[in-house]
């Protein structure tokens, strides 16, 4: 049986999407007041982290 290896791109993407989603959820629930000046770097950092990980890891091996 073949052991599947850790897919770092999915892991990093999942973490940043969870973090971003929680921040946006807090804003929607009026627990925080998210401004563009804070949201833009957050979204850019999320995209950058995913792209960087995908770029470093390269295309996934096809089974």
Partner 1 sequence: MESRPARGDLSTVTEDTPPQTPDQAPPPEPRRLTRSGSDSVIGGVAGGLGRYFGIDPILFRIGFVVLAFIGAVGVLAYLILLAFVPSDGSERTSGTSKAVAVAGAVVLGCLLVTFLSPPLFVFGPGLLILGLVGLAGVLLWRALGGSAGDDPARTVGRIALAALIGVAVIGAGVGVGLAAALGGGVVIAILAVVAGFALIGTAFVGGARWLIVPALALVLPLGIVSAAGIDLNGGVGDRDYRPSTTAQLQDRYELGIGSLIVDLRDIDLPKDQTTNLAVDVGLGEAVLYVPSDTCVSSNVQIGVGGSDVLDRGADGVDVTYADDAPAPAGRSKLHIDADIGMGVIEVVREGYLRDQFSHDWRNGQEVANGIKDFDGGTKCA
Size of the site for partner 1 (CB under 8 A): 46
Q: Taking the complex as a whole, how short is the minimal distance between the CB of residue 10 and partner 1, in angstroms?
A: 3
Query: Between residue 1 and residue 40, which ones bind partner 1 under the rule CB under 8 A?
Result: 4-11, 13-22, 24-25, 27-29, 34-40
- For the CA atoms of 12, 16, 19, 24, the dihedral, rounded to the nearest 10 degrees, stands at -160
DSSP 31-52: SS---HHHHHHHHHHHHHHHHH
Which residues bind to partner 1, rule: CB under 8 A? 4-11, 13-22, 24-25, 27-29, 34-40, 42-44, 46-48, 50-52, 54-56, 58-60, 62
């Amino acid at each position: 049986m073949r052991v599947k290896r850790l897919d770092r791109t999915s892991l990093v993407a999942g973490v940043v999407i969870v973090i971003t989603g929680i921040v946006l959820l807090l804003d929607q629930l009026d627990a925080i007041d998210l401004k563009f000046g804070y949201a833009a770097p957050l979204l850019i950092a999320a995209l950058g982290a995913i792209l960087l990980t995908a770029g470093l890891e390269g295309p996934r091996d096809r089974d």
